[in-house]
């Protein structure tokens, strides 16, 4: 299975949707003020789309009809997704990602019971990841990722049975295509820890032995 099949499949599915998400727009406006504060960068126009169960189901049907083999993994993952919202805006110029504050719109999520999973800020960009879970069985039901970096401002919200989605994505080796570093950086999808006998990247040992 080509690693490009999943993004292509999702892109085709997204292209069929015309729904605009005001939810994404709020997050964009919050970050836009910070990004443009120094006057060295501007946030341009982009798109915001929302896919519901019907659109996702149609995409899975078309995928099975037109390219059953290459879209099989994506269709399998699609079973667990109830809704996908994606927004992407271009960023022209340079900005200080370290100075970006968490978008105020994210407070609405935490007020609603979402949990902040991860924040990463460096010179190249900033990432915020939040998730929501079902209290009765601790299943992950929603994942929100906000990325501001070289590729622009990207907001992604996925809803559904994400526990099963991640499980299947890992089984299919597609976790990077689906989540990028959002979960990998936290250790949730981390690679197998090096054994104590594995080669050390650089011998900079501080020996604390007696």
Partner 1 sequence: MRSLILSALAALALPLTAHAQPIAAADLDALFETEPRVEVNLRGSLLRLAAAATAESEPETAAMIEGLDGVTVRIYPAPATERALAVDRLSSIAGRFESDGWLTLVRIRALPDDVEDEGDVWVFVRDRGDVFGGLAVMLYDADEENALFVHIDGEISPDDIGALTRRFGDVDIDYNREDDDE
Give the binding site for partner 1 (CB under 8 A).
98, 101-102, 115-122, 131, 133, 138-140, 163, 166-167, 170-171, 175, 185-190, 192-194, 196, 200-202, 204-210
> Smallest distance from the beta carbon of 99 to partner 1, in angstroms?
10
Nearer to partner 1, 30 or 63 (CB): 30
Angle at 182 between CA 2 and CA 202, to 5 degrees: 90
The minimum distance between CB 11 and partner 1, in angstroms, equals 25
Residue labelled with tokens 């919202």: 85
Asked if 1 contacts 75 with a C-beta cutoff of 8 angstroms, the reply is no
Report in angstroms how near the CB of residue 139 gets to partner 1 at its nearest: 7
Which SS3 state, helix, strand or coil, does residue 128 take? Answer: strand
| Closest by CA position to 85, among listed 129, 16, 19, 141 | 19
Closer residue to partner 1 (CB): 54 or 192: 192
Find the helix or strand (DSSP H, E) in which 134 lies: strand 125-134
Contact 158, 146 (CB under 8 A): no
Question: Which is nearer to partner 1, 21 or 132 (by Cβ)?
Answer: 132
Q: Say how many C-beta atoms besides its own lie within 10 A of residue 36's C-beta.
A: 15
Query: For partner 1, which is the closer residue by CB, 14 or 166?
Result: 166
Residue with smaller CB distance to partner 1, 89 or 131: 131
The whole-angstrom distance between residue 197's C-alpha and the CA centroid of its chain comes to 34
* Closer by beta carbon to partner 1, 48 or else 183: 183
Token pair of 113 as six digits: 């019971």
CA-to-CA distance for 86 and 94, rounded, in angstroms? 23
- Per residue in 115-130, is it b (16+ CB within 10 Å) or e — as a string? eebbebbeeebbbbbb
State the minimum distance, in angstroms, from the CB of residue 4 to partner 1: 23
């Amino acid at each position: 299975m080509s690693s490009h099949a999943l993004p292509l499949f999702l892109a085709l599915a997204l292209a069929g949707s015309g729904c605009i998400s005001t939810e994404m727009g709020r997050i964009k406006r919050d970050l836009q003020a910070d990004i443009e504060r120094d006057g060295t960068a501007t946030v341009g126009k982009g798109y915001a789309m929302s896919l519901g169960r019907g659109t996702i189901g149609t995409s899975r049907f078309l995928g099975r009809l037109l390219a059953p083999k290459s879209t099989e993994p994506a269709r399998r993952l699609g079973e667990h997704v109830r809704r996908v919202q994606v927004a992407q805006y271009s960023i022209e110029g340079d900005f200080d990602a370290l100075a970006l504050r968490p978008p105020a719109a994210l407070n609405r999520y935490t007020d609603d019971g979402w949990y902040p999973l991860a924040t990463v800020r460096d010179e190249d960009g900033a990432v915020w990841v939040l998730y929501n879970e079902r209290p009765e069985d601790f299943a992950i039901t929603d994942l929100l990722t906000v990325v501001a970096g070289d590729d622009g401002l990207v907001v992604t919200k996925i809803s559904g049975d994400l526990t099963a989605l991640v499980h299947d994505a890992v089984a299919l080796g597609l976790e990077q295509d689906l989540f990028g570093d959002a979960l990998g950086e936290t250790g949730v999808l981390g690679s197998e820890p090096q054994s104590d006998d594995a080669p050390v990247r650089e011998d900079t040992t501080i020996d604390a032995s007696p």
